[in-house]
Amino acid sequence: MDGDGFRRLLATIADAWIEGDTVAALACFTDDARYTEPPDTQHYEGRDALFEFFGGDDPPPMSMAWHTIVFDADEQMGAAEYTYTGTNTYHGVVVIRLRGDRIANWREYQHRSELEWEGFTELNPF
Q: Phi then psi for 74, rounded to 5 degrees?
A: -65, -40
pLDDT tens track for 10-44: 999 999 999 999 999 999 999 999 999 999 899 99
pLDDT on residue 39: 93
DSSP single-letter state for residue 2: -
pTM for this predicted structure? 0.94
- Domains in the chain, CATH or no CATH each: 3-120 (3.10.450.50)
pLDDT tens track for 70-107: 999 999 999 999 999 999 999 999 999 999 999 999 99
Angle CA 42–47–53, to nearest 5: 40
The whole-angstrom separation of Cα 42 and Cα 15 is 22
Per DSSP bridges, beta strands 102-112 and 89-99 are antiparallel
